[in-house]
Amino acid sequence: MELSEVKLKVKQVVARVLKTDEADISDDANFIFDLGADSMQSMLLIAAFEEEFDIEMDVEKAQEVQTVGGAVEFIADYL
């Protein structure tokens, strides 16, 4: 999968889980500081990414990912 496609899907998942407008999600947006995710939503995001990309992530490492761009790179490594 192309990196641009991964980014597009990541933003769609983030917008869906955090109930925010996809257009407001920048590449360097921080899930907590910029998008307001709380700890529960962070877990939901991980689960949603796994489902969307049909992958199984290292949860501990996934929790360290803070930004949308970081998530794109992290997921791409699994694909």
Partner 1 sequence: MGKRTDLHKKNLQTIFYPESVAIVGTNKVKGTVPGDIFTNILQAELNGVIYPVNPREKWIGSLKAYKYIVDIPDPVDLAVIVFPSTVCDRALEQCGEKGIKSAIIISAGFREIGEKGLEREEQIKAIAEKWDISFIGPNCLGVINTDPASRLNASFARKFPAEGNIAFLSQSGALCTAVLDYAQARNIGFSKFVSFGNKADISEIDLLYYLMDDEKTKVILLYLEEITDGPSLMRAARDVMEKSHKPVLIMKSGRTSAGASAAASHTGSLAGSDEICDAAFRQAGIIRCDNVEDMFNIAIAFAYQPLPKSEKIAIITNAGGPGVLTTDEAIRQGLKLAEFNEDTTGKFRRSLPTTANISNPIDVIGDARADRYHAAMTGVCQDDNVDGLFVILTPQSMTDIEKIAEEIAKVANESRKPIYTSFMGEADVAAGIKILQKHHIPHYTLPESMCKPYAATLFFNQMIKQKAERPTVFDDVEKGKVQKVVNENLESGKTYLSEFKAKEIIETYGLPVIKSGLTTSEKEAGSVAESIGYPVVMKIMSDDIVHKFDVDGVVLNVRNREEAEKTYTRIISNVQKSMPEAKIDGVYIAKQIENGTEVILGVKRDPAFGPVVMFGLGGIFVEVFKDVSFRVAPIDKESAVNMIKEIKSSKMLLGARGRKNLDIDSIADAIMRLSQLALECPQIAELDINPLIVLEDGQGCFVADTRIILTN
Binding interface with partner 1 (CB under 8 A):
18-20, 30, 32-36, 38-39, 66
| Distance in angstroms between the alpha carbons of the first and the last residue of the chain | 7
Which of 53/67 has CB closer to partner 1? 67
At its nearest, how many Å lie between partner 1 and the CB of residue 32? 5
- Other CB atoms within a 10 A radius of the CB of residue 39 amount to 9
Which of 35/62 has CB closer to partner 1? 35
Is 38 an active-site residue?
yes
Q: How many whole angstroms separate alpha carbon 18 and alpha carbon 13?
A: 8
> Which residues are known catalytic residues?
38
